[in-house]
């Protein structure tokens, strides 16, 4: 059984996680939420940052986002 790994999927998911974090932070700032909810939200933000950075980490010799850019043809 061959497992194909597409690193661009991890990159996209990691970037989506990073895009969600400001909205959670904004909700915490604009609402008067209880202390326990603020603590839970901060923990969720930290977990999302860790997961996003792990997903976006490039392994040695691995895929780079710039590899998806259009290149001139070789002919």
Chain segment 15-71, per-residue pLDDT in tens: 888 888 899 889 888 888 899 988 998 999 899 888 888 877 766 556 666 655 555
Q: How far apart are CA 56 and CA 42, in angstroms?
A: 21
Query: What integer pLDDT is reported at residue 43 of this predicted model?
Result: 92
Is 48 within the bounds of a domain? yes
- Domain carrying residue 22: 9-55
Is 33 within the bounds of a domain? yes
Is 16 within the bounds of a domain? yes
How many structural domains does the chain have?
1
Q: Which of 21, 1, 18 is nearest to 10 (CA)?
A: 18
CA 16 to chain centre: 5
Is 26 within the bounds of a domain? yes
């Amino acid at each position: 059984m061959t497992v194909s790994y597409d690193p661009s999927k991890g990159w996209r998911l990691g970037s989506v996680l990073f895009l969600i974090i400001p909205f959670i932070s904004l909700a915490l700032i604009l609402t008067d939420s209880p202390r326990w909810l603020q603590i839970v939200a901060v923990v969720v933000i930290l977990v999302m940052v860790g997961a996003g950075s792990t997903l976006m980490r490039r392994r040695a010799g691995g895929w780079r986002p710039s590899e998806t850019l259009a290149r001139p043809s070789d002919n």
